[in-house]
Amino acid sequence: MSEFTERDHFWMQHAIRLAEAAALQEEVPVGAVLVTNDEMLGEGFNRPISESDPSAHAEIVAIRQGAKKISNYRILDSTLYVTLEPCIMCVGAIVHARVKRLVFGAYDAKAGAVGSAFQVLDTNKLNHRVEYAGGLLAHNCGQLLSEFFRARREKCKIS
Ligand SMILES: [Zn+2]
């Protein structure tokens, strides 16, 4: 049996649509949705280039929006859906926000901090534990990224 529910699929589909929006703005296509009680608190896509902000990853954008919405820097009982395995910075933000559960799509062999390149959430040194599961709609999430990078390489060849 899959560890993912029908609602997990629903929210990840939404994150994928956000990732597509990032690609249209020539940002690396990653999308994130923050959910509590099956309601969306925040959403975001990757936009460090357009914002000139190295911290403007999809996860951080969604967490900022969610925290603002509830006027609380801790977002208890929430699930964060993101199309790509989070990096070290985003895992840090997820822990600071006290997100309860993290669900991600594609694995990131180079920078993923939830098992691929680093195992940040498996340490016993953090004072907050985040449940996590990866690989949901991984093919769709990953394909967006590979298509994006392939198109960018093509563009470089032409110009
Ligand atoms: Zn990140």
What CA–CA distance (Å, rounded) separates 29 from 14? 13
Q: Please tell me whether residue 47 adopts helix, strand or coil conformation.
A: coil
Distance 94 CA to ligand 1 centre (A): 10
Distance 21 CA to ligand 1 centre (A): 17
Q: In this predicted model, what pLDDT tens digit does every residue of 36-60 receive, in sequence order?
A: 999 999 999 999 999 999 999 999 9
CA of 53 to the centre of ligand 1 (A): 12
Q: Which residues of 25-39 are buried (b: 16+ CB within 10 A; e: fewer)?
A: eebbbbbbbbbbeee
- Alpha helices per DSSP H over the chain: 6-24, 48-51, 58-70, 88-96, 138-158
pTM score:
0.95
The residues placing their C-beta within 5 Å of ligand 1, an ion, are 57, 87, 89-90
- Separation of 158 CA from ligand 1 center, angstroms? 30
Amino acid at 132: Y
- Render pLDDT for 65-98 as a digit per residue (tens, 0 to 9): 999 999 999 999 999 999 999 999 999 999 999 9
Distance CA 115, CA 65 (A): 27
Which residues are catalytic, by number? 59
CB 48 within 8 A of CB 57: yes
Q: What element of type H or E holds 52?
A: none
pLDDT one-digit tens code per residue, 92-145? 999 999 999 999 999 999 999 999 999 999 998 998 999 999 999 999 999 999
